[in-house]
Amino acid sequence: MKENQIPIPYRDRCAKLLIPLNKCRKEGWYLPWNCEDLRHDYEHCQYLDFKRRVKELEDFKKARDEAK
């Protein structure tokens, strides 16, 4: 991650998809239509990770309320 210059906030479960996306962006001069498939895969991973974190929070709140 360090050699690919991934900022620390972006080093999450989807970082493995961000590395080829950033390479494609740099090689394609950041034109939005060059890396559509890679961007879609990365954004989908981000969405699934968000949904996972929301479910974890709901489960945590449910367990906390049951403990009271």
Has residue 27 got a pLDDT over 90?
A: yes
Q: Which pLDDT score is estimated for 60?
A: 97
Segment (H or E) for 30: none
- pTM greater than 0.75: yes
Interval 45-49 mean pLDDT: 98
Q: At what angle do helices 36-67 and 15-27 cross, to 10 degrees?
A: 150
Q: Which pLDDT score is estimated for 63?
A: 96
Q: Which pLDDT score is estimated for 68?
A: 77
Average pLDDT over the chain, rounded to an integer: 95
Residue with tokens 């970082």: 15
